[in-house]
Structure 1
Amino acid sequence: MHAELIHARGYDTDQPTITKELIVSAQETVGYDKDKQNIVFAGNVNVGKSSLINALCDKGGNDDGAARVGSIQATMGITRHEIPNHPEMLLYDIPGARTQDVPAFQYYHDQMLYAFDTVVLVHDTTLTQADIRLLKMCILSNQKCLAVRTKSDDHIRNYEYDKECNNLEEARQIFLSEIRQDIERCQEQIAASWPEREVQVRDYVVSSRSVRSFMRQNASPKDAATAYIDELDFAFALSPTLVVNVDN
């Protein structure tokens, strides 16, 4: 990775070079398994990383081996998780950035994100400049990266109240319309700031409850707040092996 390219994208660091040797060392540190898909979940604190991992692994927050969730239970170190019946995958939970003011390269470097095959950027509102820069760091490193917007069920219920909707279905439609517009705006921003590349970053809209339901091979819930949105597409993007015959 060239220091000039990093600085041109707004990153300020005294150690801009990520070498092959550094990647190998980091993979040894995090417990990278070369025979599996190594997927790390990154993002700010309290955006739902651990809840999403638990949903994929069909675990509750209090189950043995579950990722730590809750406002006072932030992940303190890198932890590995396995999805039942999917030994080809390893999911990694890492500490949140604590603040959006943490430079993208610093978070990327400090959490050794370059060690993984796929980086999943988890967020619960719009993509911030810090989020977009982190995605660009992954792209610069030729890593697969996804964005996933969580807590859609909570947002839909909040919309029903805040926008004085007649019911949850109306709130859902308003939420999805506004979210799709925001995602399109963010994509245009990414493309406009990086015209030399055709950058496409899909931003999946999900709820952890719905992801857990999907992983259990259940049909989409009838409740408008938890009915599937992008859960199937998100699972397929993580790995096609996660998608089974589900009546959506």
Structure 2
Amino acid sequence: IITSSICLIRKKRSTFQLISEEEVEDMKVAFEFGGWESVVSKIQENLDSIENVKLDIAITGESGSGKSTFVNAIRDLEDEDEGAAETGSIETTMTPTKYPYPNNRNINLWDLPGIGTLKFKADEYLQQVNFSQYDFFIIIASERFKENHAKLACEIQKMGKRFYFVRSKIDSEIAALKKRKKSTFSEVVMLEEVRKNSIECLQKQGVERPQVYLVSCLELDKFDFNKLQETLQQELSAHKRDAFLLSLPNISKTILLRKKKLMRNQIWKLASISCVVATIPIPGVSVVCNAAILVKMLTRYCKDFGLDEEALARLAKKVDKPVEDLKSVIKSPLAGQISSDLVFKLLTKTACGGLMVSGSFLRTIPFIGGAVAGGISFGATYYMLENFLDGLSEDAQKVLEKAFD
């Protein structure tokens, strides 16, 4: 066991390079200012920020463009699911309607009334929908972008907000063109032409540097959806970027791997709290509290990977397969099975590699050495979380493969 632990630790030493100099300095300042209480508080605040940060995304476009369908698809909901936006060819959205993500109620998509209808004029629109409350806008069109789309974008641009254009029914356009040009059709050429023409059309109407994404609400894993969510992540602030990523539906291995990378960045913070709590008495913080923190975090990891009863039931319904078929490839516990007893059991199993992990961490953050020296809590917690995360990531990928095989 010890030999295999050493080999694994050698492979993972580079993990501690994920701790930025800024984060190390923040911890050092916190320690100098208020000792270990301040360090624990700082780390916990950082971990909680992803869960507590608010993000409001406005979805707008003409009636019948697929706004409501997009709102449902990006939240991994079918049109008939509980909490889904009402869809239809007739405008069903008369006031801004909030739709939170199922696994994070602080991240909201706002389905806005359609532009270009009799009830809403373009020049009054932003004021009517309370423009200032949204972090950014996604402007949707089912076919070509029109004058109202450009006018709205120019007004948003003046007010200093970000916006992105989405062609929401690109799969239908492909199918139609394929029928007309059976022998000469090229999907790659067609997509490039649609993107180029859309950009040129918007530029002619005064939109500066328009970003256009081609999406199918029925097949989000295809076309430009991954590019869209990558762009949104890059342009959001750090905490909002992370929260947005974790809320995304697990529709591709790319998204699953990005989630895993983000979660790995959190592991040292959880383990740091563990080592401090275990070795240095802090008023109001106990071993029981420490276990509760880990239970909460492991449960959240499971839900972010879609490994909970509700998410699996939704996926099974979507792909028309028994939920037990999806569960058959899962080795990790589901979100509802995480408990203090399970945490203690997992920590006991990882105790052997604890001291070795602690040594690597000490070289990165030497001033925390006084806490780690008293035991292996940091190493055991880090080692356990790393192994648990690896298992979840593998299981989530297997579920995805099983669902769509």
Classify the TM-score, shorter chain: 0.5 to 0.7
Cα distance change on mapping 1:123 and 1:81 into 2, 3 Å: same
Q: Of 208, 216, 231, which residue of structure 2 is paired with 1:207?
A: 216
Task: Measure the CA separation in 1 of the matches of 2:143 and 2:115.
Answer: 15
Change (3 A) 1:105 1:48: same
Instruction: State how far apart, in whole Å, the 1-side matches of 2:165 and 2:91 are.
Output: 23
Q: Which residue of 1 aligns with 2:191?
A: 176
Determine if the alignment matches structure 1 residue 189 to structure 2 residue 189: no
Quick check: 1:104–1:137 contact (8 Å CA) kept in 2?
Answer: no
* Structure 2 residue corresponding to 1:44, chosen from 26, 48, 62: 62
Q: Retained in 2: the 8 A contact 1:46–1:71?
A: yes
Determine whether 1:237 maps to 2:231. yes
1:66-96 Cα distance to aligned partner (Å, 9 max, x none): 0011124622332211223345521111221
CA distance in 2, matches of 1:88, 1:201: 28
- Judging by fraction of residues, say which structure has more strand: 1
Identity %: 24
Equivalent position SS for 1:210: coil
Which residue identity does 2:210 align to in structure 1?
V
The CA RMSD over aligned residues, in Å, is 2.7
Give, in angstroms, the shift of residue 157 of structure 1.
0.8
Matched, 1:159 2:177: yes
In the other structure, the counterpart of 2:117 is 99
Distance 1:121 1:109 in 2: 16
What is the DSSP-based 3-state SS (H/G/I as helix, E as strand, rest coil) of the residue aligned with 1:207? coil
Using the TM superposition, name which of 83-92 and 176-185 deviates more: 83-92
Aligned partners of 1:202 and 1:101: how far apart in 2? 28
Residue by residue over 1:173-219, the C-alpha shift from the partner in whole angstroms, topping out at 9 and shown as x without a partner, is 353132023123135425xx47xxxx3220111010122xx3xxxxx
Q: Retained in 2: the 8 A contact 1:113–1:119? A: no
Specify whether residues 86 and 201 from structure 1 end up closer, same or farther in structure 2 by C-alpha distance, changes over 3 A only: farther
Q: Which structure 2 residue ranges, 5 or more long, are not aligned? A: 1-51, 234-240, 249-254, 259-396, 398-405
Give me the whole-angstrom Cα distance separating, in 2, the residues matched to 1:68 and 1:101.
19
TM-score for both structures, normalised by structure 2? 0.43
How far is 1:130 from its partner?
Answer: 1.3
Which of 51, 62, 72 lines up with 1:54 in the alignment? 72
Structure that is richer in helix per residue: 2
Q: Deviations over 1:130-179 (max 9, x none)?
A: 11110111111111111111101111111122x23149xx3523531320
Q: Structure 1 residues 111, 156: closer, same or farther in 2, change over 3 A? A: same
In terms of mean alpha carbon deviation, does 82-91 or 112-121 score higher?
A: 82-91
TM-score by length of 1: 0.67
Q: Specify which of 41, 48, 66 is matched with residue 84 of structure 2.
A: 66
Distance (whole Å) between structure 2 residues aligned to residue 97 and residue 86 of structure 1: 29
The worse-fitting range, judged by mean Cα deviation, of 85-94 and 60-69 is 85-94
1:82 to 86, 100, 115: 100
2:218 match: secondary structure? helix
2:161 aligns to what? 143
Q: CA deviation at 1:237?
A: 2.9
Specify the SS of the correspondent of 1:245. helix
